[in-house]
Structures are given as C-alpha cells and as structure tokens.
Amino acid sequence: MVAVGVALDRRSIIAKASRADVARLAGVAESTVSRALNDSTLISEPIKEKVRVAARELGYVPSMQAANFARSRTNMIGLVVQTYASFPPFSRPYFPALLDGVVIGAAERGYSVTIVPSRAGTDMADVFSLIRSHAVDGLVFAVTPSDYEPFLELIEAGMPFVLINNYHEGLSSVDSRPTPGMREAFSHAWNLGHRKVGYITGDRSFRNALDRISAFDRLATEFGMETVVVEGDFSRTSGWRGAARILEGADPPSLVMTSSDRAALGVLSYCVDKSISVPGDLSLVGYDNLYPAQDLTPPLSTVDNPISESGRVGAGLLIDFLEGIGSWPRQIWLDTSFVVRQSTGPARTGGP
C-alpha cells in the first residue's frame, strides 16, 4: 500500500515537470530546450540528445504537443489576416486568392476554415483570445512582417501554426522562391533588347520584399544590366511615386519591374498621366499575377506567384501536424514562373 502511494506521488511529480525542470537537469537554457525538442539546426546534436534524455527522465511533454492532446479536435483551422484602418484586407486580391487555397486545402482533409482578423501593429490579442476559447485546432498566418518575436508566445501557448509567404528558422512555413520567375522576366527583357531596368521595391519589413530585391540585384548582375532602384511598399501609390522618380531622370530605363501587381498599376497610372506609351515607350513587369493583371490595358506581363497553391499547401502542412504526419517544423518552397503579356515589348533607345 505504501509502495503504491509512493509510486502515485512520483507520477504526480513527473506529470508536473516543466521546461525549466528539463533545462536544469540538462544544464542548458530554457530556450535551448524548446529549440532542441523542435530539432532546430541552431542546436548541436550532443546538446539535443542531453535535452531529450532529460525530458524522457522527467516525463516532460512539450507544451505544443500537450496542448494538442488536451484539446478536443474541432476540425477547424483559422486563417489569420492582418487588418488595417485604411483599407479592408479582402479589398486586395492577394487575400481572396490565399483564402481560396486555404479553403481547398482544408476541405481536402475534412477541415473547415474560419477567418481570424488581427489588427496590424498589435500584440495579436485577438489571436490569443481565440486560442483560449479552443475554437480552432491550428492557425495559418497570411503574409506577416519578418519579426520572429510575436510567434514565440504562440509556441509557448501550444498553438500549432504555419506561416504563408514568410519564414523563420524553427517555424513551419510555405513560401515561393522569387528567383525562377524573375530570371524568366530578365531573360525576356534581355531578348527584347532592354539593358537598363528600374525596380520599385516592396515594404522591406516583409521578407517578400527583401527576397525579391535580393533576387533582382543578383539577376541584374547575372544579365549585366544597369539598374535604378527606388523604395516602395507594394502599394499602387508607391508605384506611381516610384515611376516618377525613375522616369524623370536624365537617362531613364526602358523597362520597369515592380514588387507587386498593385505597384505596377501605379506605374501604369503614371504613364497615362504623362502620356507614356506602354509598351511603346516603356515596358512594365509586375509581380504576383493577381486579378486584374490580365485585364489591364495593356495586359500585364508579371511574375506568377502561386499564392492560392501556397494556401492549399499551407493548410495541408498544418493538418499534417495536427494528425501526427511527418516531421515538425517544416519549410516548403514553391517556385514562381513568368507570364508574358502585352505590357512588354522591344526596348526603345533613349527610354520614354
């Protein structure tokens, strides 16, 4: 009888083992415990093994797994969409395209999707309220700024999630490589005789913008093209302003690339205002291949970013984790391509 009582007491103690207990036993920092148990490449194999041994000895279950076991399954995933005071998010074509993919990917696995608004610039209080209510099994985040810190609390709260069009070491994500599609765009431009190209960047607080300008710089060097780069933020307004800065110089380029189709819309508006013919005077290349790229005048040549497919794959990746399939975390990369339409033509000597 006494022996049983001792055994029960020991199980009770083990069940309450925390990450801090594992860290003390393994002789590492608490943050190292999380990274080691998530198989982060930042942690050496000997340290990972020390942490695993300590976790097994204490019967420690990482919080994410424990939360999943404790929570009853809803077969509902949440698509977290940042909201802004200046415009409704679904007024931009990116979000409906992503939602289509997430809904399709979830439906393929018998799950439903709910939209989770999260006010831009806040601490994701809306998201944590949803977590506490146990209304969803996991979250898919639409494009988010390249800041790792907001996601640490989600990891500690035990909420499974996947990033779309963003990525961080140690987090699961789906993103698209800009280089394949942009290389096709450069090759197309080169074959048309363009040797000087302008570029309007996206908002550099997002990895999308950083990756695209990095690819642009590499490819311009690879093709031996002269460049003019101005800052933008993906918006139509920044496209108009960027076009003014690029095209009003003494030796403007014969082609302009943009970080988004919305920015390309701004360039087209500038060209209409200034009576610049596209593609007669200036060729134009966008990025994303979202509506209304094909319906513009002229239809827009653009890098095809598989946004809907990213959503479908992201939903599947999250559900894989919920159902214990595959390793975690995982980063999945899709490839971009290039669509040739009527906004690009032979280079005109001397620019517009």
298 and 182 together in one domain:
yes
Residue 292: inside a domain, yes or no? yes
Choose the final residue of a domain: 288, 306, 324.
306
Out of 83-92, 175-184, 221-230, pick the least confident: 83-92
Residue 339: inside a domain, yes or no? no
Whole-number mean pLDDT of the chain? 86
Residue 120: inside a domain, yes or no? yes
Q: Note the pTM of the prediction, 2 decimals.
A: 0.77
CB atoms within 10 A of CB 340: 13
How much is the pLDDT for 254?
97
Q: How confident is the model at residue 56 (pLDDT cuts 50, 70, 90)?
A: confident
Is 116 in contact with 139 (CB distance < 8 Å)? yes
Which residues have a Cβ under 8 Å from the Cβ of 259 and sit 6 or more positions away? 199, 200, 201, 202, 208, 209, 212, 213, 232, 234, 287
299-308 as b/e: b if 16+ CB within 10 A:
ebbbbbbbbb
Given a cut of 80, whether residue 121 has pLDDT beyond it is: no
217 and 237 together in one domain:
yes
- Give the structural domain span for 182: 177-306
Kindly report, residue by residue over 130-154, the tens digit of the pLDDT.
666 678 889 999 888 887 777 877 8
Q: Where are the beta strands (DSSP E) in 58-185?
A: 76-83, 112-119, 138-141, 161-164, 173-177
How much is the pLDDT for 65?
47
Looking up residue 285, the CATH number of its domain turns out to be 3.40.50.2300
132 and 190 together in one domain:
no
How much is the pLDDT for 15?
46
Given a cut of 70, whether residue 4 has pLDDT beyond it is: no
Specify the length of the chain in residues.
352
